[in-house]
Amino acid sequence: MVKRHDKGHDGKYHINGKKFELLEGSRAQVWHGTAYKTPGGLTKVHLKMNRGRIVSVKKSNLARSQKHLKGHLQPKGSGVFGTVTKKGKKKGTKKRKGSRRR
């Protein structure tokens, strides 16, 4: 069973030798040490700063390993920079079926 965190005599949560005013809070509150965890259960070790935003370490690392732009970029060593224009059949527009007047 997981230990239940209770408030101390000073009205703060004492967890692993540290004091927290709140048990649950926003990511910013967890990052700054005001709260122990987020409602989703992320503690400070699970968070990191990325371009000024507080993000999940696991999700951020997973996104780095995914190559979502691979099909849209020029081949390596082609000497061309930028996105590839995909050639192929253009998507036509559907003809509207109008109701016939009598």
Q: Are 24 and 39 in contact (CB under 8 A)?
A: yes
Phi and psi (nearest 5°) for 35? -115, 155
pLDDT digits 0-9 by tens, 4-22: 899 999 999 999 999 999 9
Per-residue pLDDT, 12: 97
Bridge partners, residue 13, by sequence: 7, 20
Can you spell out the DSSP letters for 2-42? PPPP-B-TTSSEEETTEEESEEE--HHHHHTTSEEE-TT--
**% of residues, the chain, pLDDT over 90:** 60
**Of how many residues is the chain composed?**
102
Q: pLDDT category, 32, cuts 50, 70, 90?
A: very high
Q: Would you list the domain boundaries of the chain?
A: 13-63
**Helix (H) / strand (E) containing 65:** helix 57-65
Per-residue pLDDT, 28: 98
Please give the residue that has the higher pLDDT: either 79 or 56: 56
